[in-house]
Amino acid sequence: MGLSNNERRMLKAMLSEPERPWTLQELLSESNWEDQVHVAGAGKALEAAGLLAVEETRFRQVSLGPEGIRAVENGLLESRLWEWIKAQDESDRTIKNLNSSDFEKSETGPGIGLLKGLGIRIESGGLVFSDEREISDELSNRSEFLSSLSSGPVDEGSIDGPMLDQFSSRGGLLEFEDSISRTWCLTVEGRSVDVSELSEVKMIGELTPEMLQTGSWKDAEFKPFDVSAPAPTPAGGRRHPMQSLIERIRSVFLEMGFSEIEGDYVQSAGWNMDSLFIPQSHPARTMQDTFYLGNPTVLDVDEHYLDLWARVHEHGHDTGSKGWGGAFDKEEAKKALLRTHTTVNTVRHIAENPDIPSRVFGIGRVFRQETIDRTHMPEFHQIEGIIHEPDASLPMLVSTLKTFYSKMGFPDVRVRPAYFPYTEPSAEVDILWRGEWLELGGSGIFRPEVTEPLGTEWPVCAWGMGLERLAMLILGLDDIRQLYQPDLERLRRMPLL
């Protein structure tokens, strides 16, 4: 019979109990297999020969998602809210008190929806309920259910339906993984095979120099290759998807004739903001939005620039502008902070090269006080760039951005009027993604209030785009945190860029 050794081995094992279906585990433990892939491969060949039938069952496994793990550690949002409600006197159970409690703003909104789902009503601003017992029972069922998943994935079929509905509609609590299990069963023809015909023959899978030297290959059989046999995907090393994306962006800009620049994370408020004509009273400059450093608290800033910015901010200097008025505070400009945008790199580049035309870009990390959620993180990246030359213009800016995004795979780009204190005109940049326009960043032509103190009279096209948003589109993610969690399985499955 023209069967390979693996096929013979599999058939022989199954003939010891010819009537029943065999699972992969049973076949593996029956005789010595090097690899489970061999069982699957042999099964496929035997099926093609009509000796056995394969049955595939698909099933879903449910496990805890990142939010689910957090809920097991800290308690479900609704349970924490319920504890809070029970701890208040009846008259203090109000939405107003809830809003001024320790709960985050991002929790109270969805939290109220969850409480309503539990039968808690809002009556003239107060939270009221009738059956305390019922709510407590439901909540302990929910917590118990989540904890039961902490010891590993569970088959979806074994989970209570309403519980599954409750949690699967809430982002990040559960994760689902589809798998297939196979069983093999002999056909009538397979059962009639004579075991004595199934002794293993020497089959050559790989030809070695020894076989050629001794000529032993002459009496052996060659194993045919089965290029369609199922095989595991080798988990070799790969670059982190963010790193690959950064490298792709880098090569697109280099190919477009730009050079790369870099800068420090720590900057003075002067370079990060005052040089960009951001008024010293701007709300984004407060500690709620910007990380100021405790050590050092101030940085040296060249007096020359402090003087120029002071004049421009106070009365416009020779820029044709009236400035912001008021008194410019040089001490404020010396404060040390973590850069809030990479525009600080491009202005510093112009200050250092005021009479050299340049096209430069940089991809760098920036820092802002943000509450972490699906679309925000306190650290993220920007793709920044400028064209600084005598003929720089708005059409040049727009066509540069269009070229960049189409090279990245997004041919539809549009700009809309916008406002930044440092550009005029200013434009928001959107790309078309599955029929929707998504905002990716800001751009414009630097105002004279910015360029004059830097020592140039040429126009400057400037832009600063978000990197993470683009990464999420390209990688098909719906949560920015997925980019940075060290979840090797998920990282391995992300598309190669």
Segment 161-220, which members bind ligand PHE (CB under 6 A)?
A: none
Q: Which is nearer to ligand PHE, 343 or 456 (CB)?
A: 343
Q: Single out the residue of 464, 467, 469, 470 in contact with ligand PHE (rule: CB under 6 A).
A: 464
Contacting residues for 358 by C-beta, under 8 A, at least 6 apart: 259, 349, 350, 386, 387, 388, 389
Residues 199, 193 contacting (CB under 8 angstroms): no
Residue 391 CB, nearest approach to ligand PHE (Å): 19
Residue 431 CB, nearest approach to ligand PHE (Å): 15
Q: Single out the residue of 335, 339, 341, 349 in contact with ligand PHE (rule: CB under 6 A).
A: 341
Residue 426 CB, nearest approach to ligand PHE (Å): 6
Tokens of 220: 């052996």
Taking residues 375 to 414 in sequence order and writing x for each that binds ligand PHE by CB under 6 A, - otherwise, the string is ----------------------------------------
Q: Which is nearer to ligand PHE, 166 or 443 (CB)?
A: 443
Residue 84 and residue 91: Cα distance in Å, rounded? 13
Of 219, 444, 436, 471, the residue nearest 343 (C-alpha): 444
Q: Which is nearer to ligand PHE, 41 or 444 (CB)?
A: 444
Which range of residues in 139-147, 149-157, 398-406, 442-450 is near ligand PHE by CB under 6 A?
Answer: 442-450
Taking residues 280 to 319 in sequence order and writing x for each that binds ligand PHE by CB under 6 A, - otherwise, the string is ----------------------------------------
Residue 58 CB, nearest approach to ligand PHE (Å): 46
Residue 429 CB, nearest approach to ligand PHE (Å): 9
Give the count of alpha carbons within 13 A of 32, CB side only. Answer: 1
Taking residues 422 to 441 in sequence order and writing x for each that binds ligand PHE by CB under 6 A, - otherwise, the string is -x-----------------x
The count of residues in the chain is 497
Taking residues 119 to 158 in sequence order and writing x for each that binds ligand PHE by CB under 6 A, - otherwise, the string is ----------------------------------------
Q: How many CB atoms lie within 10 A of CB 241?
A: 20
Residue 341 CB, nearest approach to ligand PHE (Å): 4
Segment 443-462, which members bind ligand PHE (CB under 6 A)?
A: 443-444, 462
Q: Is 343 in the site for ligand PHE (CB under 6 A)?
A: yes
Q: Is 463 in the site for ligand PHE (CB under 6 A)?
A: yes
Q: Which is nearer to ligand PHE, 241 or 448 (CB)?
A: 448
Q: Is 363 in the site for ligand PHE (CB under 6 A)?
A: no
Residue 406 and residue 255: Cα distance in Å, rounded? 13
Residues 52, 184 contacting (CB under 8 angstroms): yes
Residue 443's beta-bridge partner residues? 427, 463
Residue 420 CB, nearest approach to ligand PHE (Å): 5
Helix axes 241-255, 468-475, angle to 10 degrees: 110
Q: Single out the residue of 442, 448, 453, 459 in contact with ligand PHE (rule: CB under 6 A).
A: 442
Interacting residues with ligand PHE (CB under 6 A): 341, 343, 420, 423, 441-444, 462-464
